[in-house]
Structure 1
Amino acid sequence: MASSTAQRRLLQEYRALTNNPPEGITAGPVSEDDLLYWEALIQGPEGTPFEGGIFPAELKFPKDYPLAPPSMRFLGEVWHPNVYPSGLVCISILHPPGDDPNHYEHASERWSPIQSVEKILISVMSMLAEPNDESPANVEAAKQWREQRDEYEKKIYSTAEERVPVPVWHYVRERMLYKLGSD
């Protein structure tokens, strides 16, 4: 069971996301019985090879949230330098607080309790548009992004085309909000 601090904070963040959702992002707990497990839908950023796709993901929060960061994983193939083949997202904001033992990122870029689910999701959307190839989670994707950009983009287009088309985005979002609101 989550601590009352984690539950209060996650409920507060869910309300904020529901009342003022960032464009192209929908997220919330799968069930009111377990606020530590969320699903999210991220619309591929315009002007990128991800445009036109909708990418489902899951967020798993630790019991001591917000002191420790959640983990985030895409549910399906996402070819990207900062996404492990398993779908696990690798960006600074999801790394534990403190100094980076590998010296790739500053402590200020890593998780802190002032961060939020909204900030994570916006950071992931930005990551889709602008990969960080200095410390890749997927070395092959990073290599292709650096050396064969056209092939990299073709691979992304092919996976994005398999995703839900953009006009369905509003329907999916409304169904998700209705489902969570009726529990």
Structure 2
Amino acid sequence: MSTPARRRLIRDFKKLQQDPPSGCSGAPCENDIMRWNAVILGPEDSIWEGGTFKLTFQFTEDYPNKPPTVKFISKMYHPNIYSDGSICLDILQNQWSPIYDISAILTSIQSLLCDPNPNSPANSEAARLYQENRREYDRRVQEVVEESWKG
């Protein structure tokens, strides 16, 4: 069954394969184009370097008029990521636009890792450490990076 959302997802997937953003990849689940798995690598020269973080995307038939639900399935420690893996990111909420595609979402999430917004915390402890004790914050992130190697 071809719907506008599914056609757009196929187009996004082709673009992602032809011109993948650096350190990001994603693909639909085997039998369901509305569900995707993605991977973001921790950006080089950052405290996230070396990490391999897995995410899921859940699209609805309203895509691209409504954003997908994106969650980390890897354990994360970040001011803008909830304990359930949900991401507090403006383009996934009130700043969404149909011009965003999967590449843009992945790139935005990857840059959020290094550039958190502690004023809109999803994890208040991580936000507090990020602002008040950067060394301890960096150590906790390093634990998450090392944990990402296991699975």
Length-normalised TM-score, structure 2:
0.95
Give the aligned partner of residue 122 of structure 1. 107
Identity of aligned residues (%): 41
Aligned length: 150
Query: Conserved in 1, the CA contact under 8 Å of 2:74 and 2:148?
Result: no
In 1, Cα distance between equivalents of 2:144 and 2:63: 33
For structure 1, the residue ranges without an aligned partner over 5 or more in a row are 97-109, 166-183
CA contact (8 A) 2:59 2:68 kept: yes
CA deviations on 1:58-100 (whole Å, 9 max, x unpaired) are: 011122101100111111210001100111111001004xxxx
Match of 1:36 among 22, 34, 37: 34
Q: Which amino acid aligns with 2:119?
A: E
What residue number does 2:130 align with?
A: 145
SS of 1:29's partner is strand
- Is the 2:3–2:61 contact (alpha carbons within 8 Å) kept by the matching residues of 1? no
- 1:13 aligned partner: 12
1:61 aligned residue: 59
Over the residues paired in the alignment, what is the CA RMSD in angstroms? Answer: 1.4
Q: What is the rounded CA distance, in whole Å, between the counterparts of 1:164 and 1:150 in structure 2?
A: 22
Aligned partner of residue 145 in structure 1, secondary structure:
helix
Q: For 1:23-56, what per-residue CA distance to the aligned partner results, in whole angstroms no more than 9, with x for missing partners?
A: 111101012x311100001000112211101000
Q: Structure 1, residues 125-146: CA drift from partner, whole Å, max 9, x if none?
A: 0000100111111111101100
Larger Rg: 1
Structure 2 unmatched runs, 5+: none
Report the equivalent of 1:158.
143
